[in-house]
Amino acid sequence: MRLYDISHPLSSATAFWPGDAPFTFQPTARLAEGASVNLSAISLSPHNGTHADAPYHYDDAGLTMDQVPLERYLGPARLVALEGREQVSEADLRALDLTGVERLLVRTGSCPDPTVFNEQFTFFDAGAVAYLSGLGVRLLGTDAHSVDAMTSKDLPAHNACRTGGILILENLNLSGVPTGDYELIALPLRIVAGDGSPVRAVLREIR
């Protein structure tokens, strides 16, 4: 069964949210310099690259990364394409067959280059998120930088996810992956009190 790696690589070239901490990689020991092993240190925002948002990221009373239910990030998922839009609306989603879908991944095509931060990425209308919650969707993934617009301060889509019990994956690499049903594997790190975590997200074909 084919695997699709839907994670972006992490490096110093990885685009990051303006004002957030970038990814850095620093060698601390090298075999070539006489050390017994190669070692390095990394520093990053947990929202660099492909990542999970913990509910605590947008709600002081929300679950932190070490508290979220792991089963949400593992299981059947449907990938759909909604490209060329400023935002994903409820009408866009009503046009799709999402019967029985618990994990929905949306390819917007608005962030094609992981080294460039596109401020005009496609975001989600709060009504669209509420519609997904009513259908039973419990995880929403996007290839965009966020489910909310770049300029949003009140984060209506994030808060609709909070109200509807939907967890969030952002910055997925969905280019070149056919739409359809897959098994999703996108486990976050067990970061105590964490507001987010990098994930190595994978889609496995279902046969």
Domain ranges of the chain: 3-7+46-205
Question: Is 39 in a helix, a strand, or coil?
Answer: strand
158 belongs to the catalytic site = no
Under 8 Å between Cβ of 182 and 79? yes
pLDDT of the residue at 1: 84
- Which architecture characterizes domain 3-7+46-205 according to CATH? 3-Layer(bba) Sandwich (3.50)
What's the burial of 83, exposed, middle or buried (CB within 10 Å: 0-12/13-18/19+)?
Answer: exposed
pLDDT tier for residue 207 given thresholds of 50, 70 and 90: confident
- CA 172 to chain centroid, in Å, comes to 5
Given 8, 51, 57, 145, the catalytic residue: 57
Report the candidate in 72, 107, 45, 49 with the shortest Cα–Cα distance to residue 186.
Answer: 72
Pull the structure tokens for residue 94: 């009503």
Give the pLDDT confidence of 135-174 residue by residue, as tens digits. 999 999 999 999 999 999 999 999 999 999 999 999 999 9
What pairs with residue 24 in β-bridges? 43
Per DSSP, helices labelled H in 5-123 are 90-94
> 91 vs 68, 78, 88, 120, 143, CA distance in Å?
30, 18, 8, 21, 20
Average pLDDT, whole number, for the chain?
97
Query: For the segment 19-74, what is each residue's pLDDT rounded down to a tens digit?
Result: 999 999 999 999 999 999 999 999 999 999 999 999 999 999 999 999 999 999 99
Closest CA to 107 of 201, 51, 170: 170
Residues 105-134, buried b or exposed e (16+ Cβ, 10 A)?
Answer: bbbbbbbeebeebeeebbbbbbebbbbbbe
